[in-house]
């Protein structure tokens, strides 16, 4: 089969590799589409603890072409998506029921081979049937599941004033979830362009253009709101997170959602944290949110058609990377041969 294989950071090839054999508790999926995620760009740089050699890609969807002898409830021909994260079930955190904190967390596309290939073997308990979604739409199930977990961590009170930094693919989904889950007023701040325009159409009550050359301009605009009860930083920029800490009201909550470089850091005034009783939370991936994400997407409550802006063939991985680094478009879907 054809696949994108990384032998080391920044060292990859589109090449033939053996089609995987499945174990009794696994299924073999013929990949029909796989989404490009910011995490894949970190893996390209060797970040996020990848295991090389590696086939990346964790936002995959396709059709079951074989099922192991011990698999129940799944069969050949079913259209599916899969939860890429798997806990060990045995470590300190797993025994406490905190599976997302697993010390030995595995992830297809990060520590195990993923979906930038024609076929993928995966544990059957990670797999979910899709009914109404197209394969193109289904690449958004995994990022939506992460956003669902983020809303869970946020624990937002209904009717709150919320500021979301970022209008990338996950930002678009987060914006819709925030409105569905009780944000009284949602403001989205991002650079001007199609992404911010789309956030305004899909969910935001107001949008603020972030001026990278004159940051004081958008800071002054945000100050007009007298702070926010909840601030979500979904860009992965330490400078934006620094601003996010300033825009939360007294008693407010800042959610660190974006994926940052591993050596990134920010500064904060501990007296301000103490005096204003600010809370800072982090949201990392997910491990049990797939059913809820599927509900949102299958019922059409979360809209993703306009989010998926670009399509590439898997063989054009060089172009995919260049396109991603240019920050053009919103979400990219990749298709293996014959998909």
Residue 233 has what pLDDT?
Answer: 98
Residue 85 has what pLDDT?
Answer: 98
Tally of CA atoms within 13 A in the half-sphere of 42 that contains its CB? 18
Cβ atoms of 256 and 283 closer than 8 Å: yes
Mean pLDDT of the chain: 96
Residue 283 has what pLDDT?
Answer: 97
**What is the second-level CATH architecture of the domain 2-140+307-335?**
Alpha-Beta Complex (3.90)
For the chain, which ranges sit under pLDDT 70? Answer: none
Task: State which fold the 145-282 domain adopts.
Answer: Rossmann fold (3.40.50)
Instruction: Tell me how far CA of residue 192 lies from CA of 164, 195, 238, 310, in angstroms.
Output: 14, 8, 20, 19
Cα distance between residue 236 and residue 87, in whole Å: 25
Looking at residue 93, the DSSP 8-state letter turns out to be H
**Separation of CA 234 from chain center:** 10
Instruction: Delimit the domains of the chain by residue range.
Output: 2-140+307-335, 145-282
The predicted model scores a pTM of: 0.96
> Which residues neighbour 34 within 8 Å (Cβ) at sequence distance 6 or greater?
57, 59, 60, 61, 114, 115, 116, 139, 314, 333, 334, 336
- Reading the block at residue 54, the tokens are 């590696």
Residue 248 has what pLDDT?
Answer: 97
Instruction: Work out the end-to-end distance of the chain between its first and last CA atoms, rounded to an integer number of angstroms.
Output: 13
Residue 211 has what pLDDT?
Answer: 84
Residue 66 has what pLDDT?
Answer: 98
The strand pair at 183-190 and 206-209 is best described as parallel
Spell 121-147 as b/e; 16+ CB within 10 A means b. bbbbebbbebeebebbbbbbbbbbbbb
């Amino acid at each position: 089969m054809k696949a994108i294989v990384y032998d080391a950071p920044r060292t990859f090839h589109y090449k033939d590799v053996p089609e995987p054999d499945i174990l009794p508790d696994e299924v073999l999926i013929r990949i029909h589409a796989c989404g490009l995620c910011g995490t894949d760009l970190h893996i390209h740089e060797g970040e996020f603890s990848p295991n090389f050699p590696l086939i990346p890609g964790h936002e995959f969807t396709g059709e079951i072409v074989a099922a192991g002898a011990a698999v129940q409830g799944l069969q050949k021909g079913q259209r599916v998506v899969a939860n890429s994260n798997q806990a060990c079930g045995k470590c300190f955190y797993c025994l406490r029921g905190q599976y997302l904190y697993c010390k030995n967390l595995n992830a297809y596309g990060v520590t195990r081979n993923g979906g930038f290939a024609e076929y993928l073997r995966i544990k059957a308990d990670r797999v979910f049937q899709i009914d109404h979604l197209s394969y193109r739409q289904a690449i958004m199930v995994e990022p939506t599941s992460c956003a669902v977990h983020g809303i869970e961590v946020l624990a937002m009170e209904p009717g709150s004033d919320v500021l979301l930094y970022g209008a990338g693919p996950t930002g678009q989904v987060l914006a819709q979830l925030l409105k569905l889950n009780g944000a009284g007023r949602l403001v989205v701040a991002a650079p001007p362009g199609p992404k911010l325009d789309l956030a305004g159409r899909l969910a935001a009550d107001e949008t603020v253009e972030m001026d990278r050359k004159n940051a004081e301009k958008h800071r002054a605009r945000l100050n007009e709101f007298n702070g926010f009860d909840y601030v979500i930083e979904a860009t992965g920029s330490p400078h934006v997170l620094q601003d996010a800490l300033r825009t939360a009201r007294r008693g407010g909550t800042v959610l660190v959602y974006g994926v940052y470089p591993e050596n990134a850091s920010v500064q904060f005034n501990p007296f301000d944290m103490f005096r204003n009783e600010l809370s800072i939370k982090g949201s990392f991936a997910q491990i049990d949110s797939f059913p809820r994400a599927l509900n949102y997407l299958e019922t059409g409550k979360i809209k993703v058609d306009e989010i998926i802006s670009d399509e590439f063939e898997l063989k054009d991985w060089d172009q995919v990377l260049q396109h991603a680094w240019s920050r053009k478009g919103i979400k990219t879907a990749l298709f293996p041969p014959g998909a």
